[in-house]
Structures are given as structure tokens and as C-alpha cells.
Amino acid sequence: MKKYVCEFIGTAVLVLFGCGSAAIAGSFLGTLGIAIAFGLSIVAMAYVIGNVSGCHINPAVSLAMLINKKMTVKDFVCYVIAQVLGALFGTAILYFLLKNSGLDVAFQGLGANGYGEASTVNLNLIGAIITEIVLTFVFIYTILGVTSDEKYSSVAGLVIGLTLTFVHILGIPLTGTSVNPARSLAPAIFLGGEALKQVWVFIVGPFVGSALAAITYKFLNNEEK
């Protein structure tokens, strides 16, 4: 149960501070600032809950661990439930803050992902799917590599956080960057409308990218097994 609580807390923090930075301070921070906010959220949580739950705080990460037999099906299901609930809780806090400020939720958004008119560069559906697959592949592949050896444990959180930052730098103008189904689903549920209609892309894309990364890593590092 402690693992699941940690995943709940970690995902709530990631969504509140990552999506919150985009929704509240995005015009001041710009792409780089928002990307750093997401990355720092991972770094902070990795060194706090990493020793308890592994700090997945992302269903795509948990899927990769399941494929590589580093967690059970039961843990995978419970992790995903905890992550989605954590994302909803983090979004609820963000929504509350926006509603009790002079900012307009509909205008500011909640850090939701999107394509077409919801994309800064008007990226189309196919482009959005490819973007999420590629960005998630890079992110998950890095996680699998840096967590594969105990000697990297002291820097793993930093490396993972920096990787999340650099995939956001490319992805924010394209789709807002998901690479995390829970992080995408929660804001879409609160916003509804077009965000909710498009959210399937940001669930399917990250899961496909994660599976490809896990399979590729397992194949290329099979000799070590």
C-alpha cells in the first residue's frame, strides 16, 4: 500500500507543478520554463519516493516495467489506478486555484494536450501520434537504461528529470507533450470538450512508445539477462 500511496503523491505533484506551470505561468516561463518545471517535479519525487515505489508516476513507465518483468500484473494495475487518482487530485487542486483567482480556466487551460487547433504549430493527428510515440520511446528507453545498474542509482533521478525536460522542449509546441497517459487524462476530464475527445491520442501514443522502448531494450540487452 505504501508504494501505491507514493505513486498517488508523486503523480499529483507532477501534474500540479508541471501542468500548473503551463496553465498559470506559461506566458511568463515559455517552453523552456515549463519543460524545466516538469523535469524538476520528477527529480524531486525521484529522491523522495524512488526508494519506496520506484517513482514511476506514469502508466507508461509502469507498462515498460511490466513488459520487462520488473513488476507483477497486480502491481501494474494498482500503480496505474494510483497514478490516475493522483493526477486527478493534482488537477483538482490546480482547478481550485484557478477558479479562486482572477484567471479563467477555459482560457488558461489545465495543461491539457492537443493537436490541430489545440497545437501551437497546428500539428495534425498523425503527427501528434508519431510525436508521442517517439518522445515516449526516448524517455522510457532512458529510464530503463539508467535504472538497470545500481551504480547509476545516485544520479538516476537527475538523468530521468533532465530527459523529461528535453523531450518537453521539443514536444510542447507540437502537442503540449504527454508521454504520460495519467498526466493527459486528468486535465482532459476536467476540461471536457475537445480536450477529452483528443485525449485517446495521448493515452495510445505513450503506451505504444513505452512498449516499443521496453521490447527494444530487452532485445538489445538480452545478453545481460
- Tracing cell 500500500 back to the chain, one arrives at 1
- Separation of alpha carbons 159 and 138, rounded Å: 12
> Tens digit of pLDDT for each residue in 79-138?
999 999 999 999 999 999 999 988 888 778 899 999 999 999 999 999 999 999 999 999
pLDDT of residue 150: 81
For range 14-30, the mean pLDDT: 93
φ, ψ of residue 101 to 5 degrees: the values are -125, -175
CATH number of the domain enclosing 76: 1.20.1080.10
The helix/strand/coil state of 159 is helix
Cβ burial of 110 (10 Å; 0-12, 13-18, 19+) is buried
Q: Helix 2-14 to helix 73-99 angle, to the nearest 10 degrees?
A: 40
The pTM score is: 0.93
Please give the grid coordinates belonging to residue 154. 545516485
pLDDT of residue 142: 96
Number of domains into which the chain is organized: 1
Residue 88, domain extent: 2-224
> Tens digit of pLDDT for each residue in 144-167?
999 988 887 889 899 999 999 999
Q: Helix 20-53 to helix 153-171 angle, to the nearest 10 degrees?
A: 150
